[in-house]
């Protein structure tokens, strides 16, 4: 009896600790952002989010995040396919390097891009001679976003490829289907939930990127100033309400993306 009582108290204490941890580190800060954004009323909030610089920063962030996500979908799907379906020297090393953007500080990633593609580098100098500037322009922002979101699609696709029943693929070949037809009618539908969830996570992550982008964007208002850097600038200007207002837009969009990811995953698991 005493053992059961202690077990229940331990279980109750563990649940309470987890809930308290969740509330203190996630719920309260989120509520604080929404409260701060509307602290001066609805009109100042609307003026903050419709400010031309803020609107351009959010619009540019959305556009470049979509481009980076599309590239990640294509590259991530192909890389995930190769790492699962083929065996070659160095495969394990490459597979481990996929998670490097998660472990590497994003500011270091931005510095790497600056050193490799900046005006003083071979690639940067060559691109300038060809009339295409990379660093301090939109291409550098896209590259930075791709770097920090690189693992999402790959890690979402790989488990689905590993779990795939190869008998369906073999049956398709036996019935005379080509490799392309088999891929798009048998393999791709099985990969699609992972591609979608990985893409949405990559898009959400790209929206909020700061460390890698701030070093390579140039941060020119209306041209290369993205939302995260705009928010940082508003805080430095002591306009916390304006920063919170723009943050609410990104936060709400991230919530919607997270909900969509959970919906896709629950449908895949049949829940």
Residue 200: pLDDT band (50, 70, 90) is: confident
Query: What is the reported pLDDT for 38?
Result: 76
Per-residue pLDDT, averaged over 3-32, amounts to: 72
Q: What's the average model confidence in pLDDT over 5-32? A: 73
Listed in sequence order, the DSSP H helices in 164-239 are: 166-174, 179-182, 188-207, 211-214, 227-236
Cα 192 from Cα 222, distance rounded (Å) = 36
Burial class of 259 by CB neighbour count within 10 A (0 to 12, 13 to 18, 19+) = exposed
Domain residue limits at 160 = 41-268
pLDDT in tens, 214-236: 888 877 777 888 888 888 888 88
Q: How many domains does the chain have?
A: 2
What's the Cα-to-Cα distance from 47 to each of 178, 231, 238, rounded to whole Å? 57, 15, 16
Report the pLDDT averaged over residues 246-261: 82
Do 32 and 13 fall within a single domain?
A: yes
What is the per-residue pLDDT for 3?
Answer: 53
Q: Same domain for 102 and 197?
A: yes
Same structural domain, 61 and 120: yes
**Residues 51, 27 share a domain:** no
Mean of per-residue pLDDT scores for the chain: 82
What CATH number is associated with residue 58? 1.10.3720.10
Q: What pLDDT does 11 receive?
A: 65
- Residue 265: pLDDT over 70: no
Measure the CA–CA gap between 152 and 31, rounded to whole angstroms: 28
pLDDT at 250 over 70: yes
Do residues 7 and 127 both lie within one domain? no
Go through 125-134 and write b for each residue having 16 or more CB atoms within 10 A of its CB, e for each that does not: eebeeeeebb
- For residue 6, pLDDT over 80 is answered with no
Average pLDDT over residues 49-69: 88
pLDDT recorded at residue 71: 94
Q: Same domain, yes or no, for 25 and 134?
A: no
Residues 6+ apart with CB under 8 A from 214: 107, 110, 228, 229, 232
Taking the model in full, what pTM does it have?
A: 0.82
**Among the listed residues 259, 85, 77, 262, the one whose alpha carbon sits nearest the alpha carbon of residue 156:** 77
Residue 2 has pLDDT above 60, yes or no: no
Residue 73 has pLDDT above 90, yes or no: yes
Q: Which residue has the tokens 């009323």?
A: 41
Q: Is 4 found in the same domain as 130?
A: no
Residues 77 and 158 in one domain: yes
What is the model's pLDDT at position 65? 92
Q: In terms of domains, do 57 and 190 share one?
A: yes
The verdict on 191 and 231 lying in the same domain is yes
**pLDDT tens digits, 165-179:** 777 777 777 777 777
pLDDT at 243 over 90: no
The pLDDT confidence band at residue 69, using thresholds 50, 70 and 90, is: very high
128-144 pLDDT, tens digit per residue, is 777 787 888 888 899 99
Can you tell me the mean pLDDT for 226-251? 84
Helix 52-85 vs helix 188-207: crossing angle, to nearest 10: 140
Same domain as 125, residue 251: yes
Do residue 147 and residue 24 come from a single domain? no
**Residue 68 confidence (pLDDT):** 94
């Amino acid at each position: 009896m005493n053992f059961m009582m202690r077990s229940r108290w331990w279980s109750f204490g563990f649940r309470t600790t987890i809930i308290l941890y969740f509330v203190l580190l996630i719920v309260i800060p989120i509520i604080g952002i929404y409260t701060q954004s509307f602290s001066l009323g609805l009109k100042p909030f609307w003026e903050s989010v419709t400010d031309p610089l803020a609107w351009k920063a959010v619009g540019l962030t959305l556009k470049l995040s979509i481009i980076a996500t599309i590239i990640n979908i294509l590259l991530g799907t192909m890389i995930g396919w190769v790492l699962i379906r083929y065996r070659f020297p160095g495969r394990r090393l490459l597979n481990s390097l996929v998670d490097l953007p998660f472990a590497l500080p994003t500011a270091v990633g931005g510095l790497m891009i600056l050193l490799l593609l900046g005006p003083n580098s071979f690639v940067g100098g060559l691109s300038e001679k060809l009339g295409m500037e990379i660093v301090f322009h939109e291409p550098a922002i896209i590259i930075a976003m791709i770097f920090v979101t690189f693992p999402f699609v790959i890690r979402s696709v790989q488990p689905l490829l590993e779990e795939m029943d190869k008998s369906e693929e073999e049956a398709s070949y036996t019935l005379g289907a080509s490799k392309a037809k088999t891929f798009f009618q048998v393999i791709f539908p099985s990969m699609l939930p992972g591609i979608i969830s990985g893409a949405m996570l990559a898009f959400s992550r790209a929206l909020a990127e700061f460390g890698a982008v701030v070093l390579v964007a140039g941060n020119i208002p209306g041209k290369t100033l993205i939302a995260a850097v705009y928010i940082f600038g508003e805080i430095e200007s002591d306009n916390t309400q304006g920063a919170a207002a723009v943050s609410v837009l990104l936060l709400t969009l991230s919530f919607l993306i997270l909900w969509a990811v959970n919906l896709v995953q629950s449908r895949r698991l049949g829940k």
